[in-house]
Amino acid sequence: MTDYMTLDTKLPPYLPFPRFLLGADLTQTAKLLYVVLLDRANLSRANGWTDEDGNIFIVFPLNKLADMVDKGPTTVKTALTELEAAGLIERRRCGNGMPNRIYVKQPDSQDIDRLMDRKPATRQPENRPSDSRKTDRQMAGKPAPNKISNSNLKNNLSGVSESARILGRYENVFLTEAEVAELQADFPSVWQEYIERLSEYMASTGKTYKSHATTIRRWAKEDRRKGKGGISDYSCKEGESL
């Protein structure tokens, strides 16, 4: 039974959520995983789980981690790679048949600024359009050029969900979790390659597509029909470019 909070109300068990995550340029899944791993690291510290250098580590099997956050193993793997690329965790192999050790890192002020490079310090309370949000505070500083163009592109793509993930080397491919899962299922060995090729192609030509998932699916099916292993035709037919 739910009830109002009072001065004597005891909070239910909760996970620590560092404030820097609120503005960090990370997917929601990656943020959730960091919170879970940080909580488990605190448990490891209480149990004295340290390596020969005194650093705390955790052992968290992928399937259990996926069940805990209610995500698929592939999605969790992608989020772990994202956290590792951001310098928030480090995974170390421990030999055949042994689970990896995960070291949870805590960023300093410079690392936090780097993680929040899409959201510079607030300057004045003037609302303006912002990446993946309807409105946001006016920001101080100048984001990288491709950040602005990507934001505008996402806002102008018809049918793109606000929860769509930003993918590709040039951060210009937008796919929802469901679309990624479908591409993984239909093209398990090459789906990531098609994302990267689409990203590179759009960045080099300036062309855009109404649906990135549909474009990747069409390219992959055409290549499969022709018996080719890579994308051979990048031409943009009438009606595809916005």
Extents of the domains making up the chain: 20-112, 157-242
Among 20-29, 96-105, 229-238, name the most confident range.
20-29
Phi, psi of 129 (to 5 degrees): -60, 145
Q: Cα–Cα distances in Å, from 197 out to 131, 135, 147?
A: 23, 31, 19
| Domain covering 20-112 assigned CATH 1.10.10.10 in the classification | yes
> What integer pLDDT is reported at residue 56 of this predicted model?
93
Give the residue, 228 or 96, on which the prediction is more confident: 96
> What integer pLDDT is reported at residue 58 of this predicted model?
92
Q: What angle do CA 127, 131, 136 make, to 5 degrees?
A: 20
Position 105 confidence tier, pLDDT thresholds 50, 70, 90: very high
Position 93 confidence tier, pLDDT thresholds 50, 70, 90: confident
Position 234 confidence tier, pLDDT thresholds 50, 70, 90: very low
> What integer pLDDT is reported at residue 157 of this predicted model?
53
Please report where in the chains the tokens 């300036």 appear, as a residue.
206
> What integer pLDDT is reported at residue 136 of this predicted model?
40
d(CA 199, CA 87): 24
Give the residue, 55 or 131, on which the prediction is more confident: 55
> What integer pLDDT is reported at residue 99 of this predicted model?
75
Q: Which residues pair with 122 in a beta bridge?
A: 139
Position 88 confidence tier, pLDDT thresholds 50, 70, 90: very high
Instruction: Write b or e for each residue in 151-171: b if 16 or more Cβ atoms lie within 10 A of its Cβ, otherwise e.
Output: bebbeebeebeeebbbbbebb
Give the residue, 113 or 53, on which the prediction is more confident: 53
- pTM, full prediction: 0.48
Q: Which residues pair with 130 in a beta bridge?
A: 133
Q: Looking at residues 75-84, what average pLDDT do you find?
A: 92
Instruction: Give the pLDDT confidence of 166-193 residue by residue, as tens digits.
Output: 888 777 888 888 888 888 888 888 888 8
Smallest Cα–Cα separation from 26: which of 108, 100, 88? 88
> What integer pLDDT is reported at residue 239 of this predicted model?
45
Helix residue ranges per DSSP H, 73-131: 73-85, 109-115
- Percentage above 90 pLDDT, the chain: 20
Sign of CA pseudo-dihedral 181, 182, 185, 187: negative
